[in-house]
Chains A and B, each alone.
Chain A
């Protein structure tokens, strides 16, 4: 794939948080390069605190870069260019790790969705209130929620999984080209996980939406992502086709991750020893 075909191109990116009281800052991401083709679902795995969320934040344009460059459809992501960023923020959407923190506690689930749609009311189909309402219903159905009942609930009246579905519906609301999904299904039980994973897969296949899929569940990553990057201590240590990577891990950390995956058969075997 030539560089021109890339939807997202992250080159040698460094993200640093400033230190307080004259102490050293934290280099959360250190010279990372990765790329995503249109419609491609790419996995990013790594230990807790290795910089995955920070890298996601940089891709979203929410964090300044201490080094390197990110481009989207060949154009550089420039946080100073307000007009360009407005369009970018429509095309690139985030699904958060923490669904509660991302929702306004004073808005019902349905109102939260309509608010997002209202922000983008210049988009076709969203100009009128009935249009937005219809889209809201469509989105609720897409994430498997009964709009009549669940749409009227406040975030604290929803279960963890129900809140995460609202988060996903909101990210899908305005037809993004790229989703940055930070642990999108780790709060969901297995049977709902399956529905959401299949949904995300359908979206990428049918609508051609690409996804940077951040997760620590390797089984989920293998199922979702054709390619995977493994990150340790702010740097990418291994990348490749998921099937190859999980069958023949090259880096010791990848191997450790694979060995530690909890599994029903293995768990039961371990205890009867």
Chain B
């Protein structure tokens, strides 16, 4: 079964329908009140704080936020890929199909990494071993006889849209362009049909036509075997097209979450609103893009109150003194925000 869909002209891969009643089912991934710290010379620095989210079968949940806010650290922690020390988990739980990964033995973790959670790392070059041919690295993940594995590997490469799969199998990673490497990494991540695919900026090295192909492929795999997807991206256009739900992270905390459509059309947190306002559009030419003024506070030097206060036009004394808790946004199903003065519908900043 080689993906016939990939031969279709590039089209928008909008998020597919979710089976009804999925909310009640056991989520594939459930992260509860998770805090992640790094041990540094100056003591423990918590780069992720009190984060909760879940992903069900067939579902794509996006995680967005400014560079350095903790997205990759969160992603890598799911299968405990950062050695501890330096990393530690002072509180919270990560459950994969109901089992707490923070309590897993080494052996259980190996199984989890092998076939439970597949990763597309942010940096494709580091995910590939430079001294082995692509074919060897991909075939190693597959089962069956040599011939069979080779055929499967070629089929996978075709599905991720590589023009000449057989030549690619024989190539060393450095002989491929950045985008070609990225697609090999994606093929490797889905080779074992993982229950959860963690895709950290999976399409940043790809042009838009290939990007659409990859999104279509992920959607197809979700339909085939119910794969859950955590999509880490800074591209809100991608979120709109591919994600069912979205979580917005700021300085290590989730500041807003909900159905993608709700969050993108009626953002409640001033930061989310700012992100939506800075997206460069194709219609934008010349002039100057307006960013969100100021910078993210550095982990370990966080202000006492709301982490966004220094950049927020709505901040008052209360915001600067107290960290806001998570509240439901009226009117939005499961729409949550961490802000004392959330925006109402279509309200200006």
Footprint of B on A, CB under 8 Å? 17, 26, 45-49, 52-53, 97-101, 144, 146, 149-150, 158-162, 183, 186-195, 197-198, 201, 216-220, 222-223, 242-243, 246, 256-268, 270-273
Q: Is the CB of A261 within 8 A of B237?
A: yes
- Please, which residues of chain A bring their CB within 8 A of the CB of B209? 47, 256-257, 260
Instruction: Tell which of A98, A101, A160, A195 touches B291, judged by Cβ atoms closer than 8 Å.
Output: A195
Q: Is the CB of B178 within 8 A of A242?
A: no
From 150 to 206 in chain B, residues with beta carbon under 8 angstroms from any chain A beta carbon are 163, 175-180, 182-183, 201, 204-206
Nearest CB on B from A16, distance (A):
13
Bound-state Cα–Cα, A149 to B45, Å: 13
Nearest CB on A from B205, distance (A):
7
Chain B 213-244 interface 0/1 with A at a Cβ cutoff of 8 Å (1 = within) = 00000000000000000000011111111100
Interface size on B, residues (CB 8 A): 68
Bound-state Cα–Cα, A160 to B290, Å: 22
- Please, which residues of chain B bring their CB within 8 A of the CB of A198? 288-289, 291
From 235 to 292 in chain B, residues with beta carbon under 8 angstroms from any chain A beta carbon are 235-242, 261, 264-265, 274-276, 278-282, 284-286, 288-292
Bound-state Cα–Cα, A201 to B287, Å: 10
Q: Is the CB of B14 within 8 A of A263?
A: no
Q: Is the CB of B68 within 8 A of A264?
A: no
**B302 interface hit (Cβ, 8 Å):** no
* A47 touching B210 in the complex, CB below 8 Å, given contacts A146-B298, A159-B68, A188-B234: yes
**B295 interface hit (Cβ, 8 Å):** yes
Q: Is the CB of A194 within 8 A of B123?
A: no
Q: Is the CB of B178 within 8 A of A53?
A: yes
A–B pairs, 30, beta carbons within 8 Å: A46-B207, A47-B207, A48-B180, A48-B205, A48-B207, A49-B163, A144-B295, A158-B68, A187-B201, A190-B235, A191-B66, A191-B275, A191-B278, A197-B280, A216-B206, A223-B280, A257-B208, A260-B211, A262-B12, A262-B241, A264-B237, A264-B239, A265-B240, A266-B237, A267-B12, A267-B14, A267-B240, A267-B242, A268-B264, A270-B12
Residue in A97, A160, A161 whose Cβ sees the most chain B Cβ within 10 Å: A160
Instruction: Tell which of B10, B176, B289 touches A260, judged by Cβ atoms closer than 8 Å.
Output: B10
* A98 touching B178 in the complex, CB below 8 Å, given contacts A264-B240, A264-B264, A268-B261: yes
Question: Considering only CB atoms, which chain B residue lies closest to A97 in the complex?
Answer: B178
Nearest CB on B from A54, distance (A):
8
Q: Is the CB of B179 within 8 A of A49?
A: yes
- Please, which residues of chain B bring their CB within 8 A of the CB of A188? 67, 234
Bound-state Cα–Cα, A267 to B126, Å: 31
7 A-B pairs with the lowest CB-CB distances in the bound complex, closest first: A161-B67, A48-B179, A267-B240, A262-B237, A189-B234, A267-B241, A216-B207
Bound-state Cα–Cα, A193 to B66, Å: 10
* A189 touching B289 in the complex, CB below 8 Å, given contacts A48-B180, A49-B180, A264-B236: no
* A222 touching B282 in the complex, CB below 8 Å, given contacts A53-B177, A261-B208: yes
Q: Is the CB of B206 within 8 A of A258?
A: no
- Please, which residues of chain B bring their CB within 8 A of the CB of A192? 66-67
Q: Is the CB of B285 within 8 A of A242?
A: yes
- Please, which residues of chain A bring their CB within 8 A of the CB of B88? none
Nearest CB on B from A193, distance (A):
7
* A263 touching B237 in the complex, CB below 8 Å, given contacts A48-B177, A149-B301, A186-B204: yes
- Please, which residues of chain B bring their CB within 8 A of the CB of A46? 207
- Please, which residues of chain B bring their CB within 8 A of the CB of A100? 123, 125-126
- Please, which residues of chain A bring their CB within 8 A of the CB of B54? none
**B15 interface hit (Cβ, 8 Å):** yes
Nearest CB on B from A10, distance (A):
19
- Please, which residues of chain A bring their CB within 8 A of the CB of B278? 190-191, 194
- Please, which residues of chain A bring their CB within 8 A of the CB of B242? 267
Nearest CB on B from A256, distance (A):
6
**B135 interface hit (Cβ, 8 Å):** no
* A271 touching B207 in the complex, CB below 8 Å, given contacts A160-B122, A266-B12: no
**B307 interface hit (Cβ, 8 Å):** no
Q: Is the CB of A97 within 8 A of B205?
A: yes
- Please, which residues of chain A bring their CB within 8 A of the CB of B179? 48-49, 216
**B27 interface hit (Cβ, 8 Å):** no
From 54 to 71 in chain B, residues with beta carbon under 8 angstroms from any chain A beta carbon are 64-69
Bound-state Cα–Cα, A216 to B211, Å: 10
- Please, which residues of chain A bring their CB within 8 A of the CB of B101? none
Bound-state Cα–Cα, A188 to B69, Å: 12
Question: Considering only CB atoms, which chain B residue lies closest to A17 in the complex?
Answer: B175
Bound-state Cα–Cα, A26 to B175, Å: 10
From 63 to 83 in chain B, residues with beta carbon under 8 angstroms from any chain A beta carbon are 64-69, 72
Q: Is the CB of B211 within 8 A of A262?
A: yes
Instruction: Tell which of B64, B240, B261, B292 touches A263, judged by Cβ atoms closer than 8 Å.
Output: B240
- Please, which residues of chain A bring their CB within 8 A of the CB of B163? 49
Q: Is the CB of B68 within 8 A of A162?
A: yes
- Please, which residues of chain A bring their CB within 8 A of the CB of B12? 260, 262, 266-267, 270
Question: Considering only CB atoms, which chain B residue lies closest to A273 in the complex?
Answer: B14
Bound-state Cα–Cα, A258 to B283, Å: 11
- Please, which residues of chain A bring their CB within 8 A of the CB of B301? 149
Bound-state Cα–Cα, A261 to B238, Å: 9
Bound-state Cα–Cα, A267 to B211, Å: 13
Bound-state Cα–Cα, A49 to B289, Å: 30
